[in-house]
Amino acid sequence: MHAARLAWYIGGGCPPGGRRTYPGCRDRRPPSRSAPVSLPGGIYFAGESGAWTGGMAFYDPQLPGVAAARAYLVTLEQFTDIAAQEMYRPPGHTADLIRATGAAIDAAVADGRATLGPGRYETLVCPGHRTGIPMLTFTAPEPASAVHCRPPAPTYLSMIARGLRESHGWPAERIAGYLAQRPGVTDGWPPDALAALVTEALAAG
């Protein structure tokens, strides 16, 4: 994830080009550190984003290949508040969610997967550890094979492209090639249009 994108979840506000204002976390300190990571599996795009329109990105550990990602070290409260915003629940009313998230984290670390609810981003996955700390992300309950994938909006895809450059240092050609293989992008974005979007996104910073 692009660091500026995460900052809207933590600090609150409406990101440029977005359609949703985020309340932010109660603890607005930035992550104590971050690192690029490669996770087993991949991402796919499906559903309808209320913030960007178009398909939303979900992580599927069963997809072939490797998902390029970025790990941020945040507190349990921050993680819960970020999850609450993705679930369209207001941060600050999450005492029960914090307890549930803590229990789900324990289950996900033990079993690789746990469920907080039936909705999007309510399935918790632990794809591995880094420096002894479990890496955790939330995603949809369904794998890519069980959903109708949908192309992401240009603004959303541009943000992801900038995040890949920022975290992994990839050039535009590699980013475009990587994104072109993601379900939802493959059939929805012609290669030339995708390459042009990535080049423009990186030039804009």
Is 125 in contact with 138 (CB distance < 8 Å)? yes
pLDDT, position 92: 60
Mean pLDDT of 8-22: 90
Of 21-25, 104-108, 184-188, the one with minimum mean pLDDT is 104-108
Per the CB < 8 A criterion, the answer to whether 125 and 112 are in contact is yes
Q: Distances in Å between the alpha carbon of 66 and those of 62, 134, 197?
A: 10, 18, 23
- Are 141 and 118 spatial neighbours (Cβ–Cβ below 8 Å)? yes
User: pLDDT tens digit string along 129-169?
Assistant: 999 999 999 999 999 999 999 999 999 999 999 999 999 99
pTM, to two decimals: 0.91
**Alpha helix (H) ranges present in 75-168?**
76-86, 95-111, 154-168
**CA distances (Å), 165 to each of 92, 106, 202, in order?**
33, 32, 8
> What are the tokens at 64?
């072939």
Say how many C-beta atoms besides its own lie within 10 A of residue 29's C-beta: 11
